Amino acid sequence: MSKAVIVFTGKDLNIMQEEGGSGDWVVLNSRVSASTYLLCVRNQREDWSVKDDAEHGQAFLIARGIGCKKSVREGRKVITFKEYAELPMDKASLKKAWKALTGGQRYPVAYHDAQTLLNELDIDVDTLDWQSFTPSPVEEIIPESKSVPEESASEVEVKELSEVILEAKRMVADAANLDISKVSIQIVY
């Protein structure tokens, strides 16, 4: 049974080309690599979100040949892909894709059975206009010196306990294929 990864993203195809895929997600390489498709659903609610023709919650792009690579953001991944097809903006079944497929969950990554996803959204992958995905060439910045400046060596990202717990809950929910509301973490001092 093939799987699909669904992401709720404010980024468009141009940004994905700059980043080499869809990022920056907390995902397991094994779950992404075991999936056949990546479905991108528009999140219009972030300040930085691309404002385009896709409505909030609408599926706008599907990709195949997916994998993972490290993101420039620590602990995050970019979901890479070899081919993509842009989905029609006027198709009613795609308008509320996020709610239909995930129940409107707050965590922006979900996993779904691929055939069920395609059926629910009425997507026929054989009729789509598949394009080869070519990431934009990125100039590699090579530091002049291998030494780390003193101020950056002493700067360590410190997360609040609530952030750590939320991230752990997301990872457990993801690994167990559960809704995050079903995961609780107890700390005993």
Tens digit of pLDDT per residue, the chain (189 long)?
789 999 999 999 999 999 999 989 999 888 999 999 999 999 988 888 888 888 999 999 999 999 999 988 888 999 999 999 999 999 999 999 999 999 999 999 999 999 999 999 999 999 999 999 988 875 444 444 444 444 443 343 445 666 677 777 777 877 777 777 788 887 776
Per-residue b/e over 105-131, b at no fewer than 16 CB within 10 Å? bebbbbbbebeebbeebebeeeebeee
Bond into 129 cis (ω within 30): no
CA 180 to chain centre: 16
CB–CB of 38/71 below 8 Å?
no
Nearest to 64 by CA among 82, 50, 87: 82
CB–CB of 109/7 below 8 Å?
yes
Q: How many CA atoms lie within 13 A of 43 on its CB side?
A: 19
Q: Indicate yes or no: pTM above 0.85.
A: no
- pLDDT, residue 160, reads 66
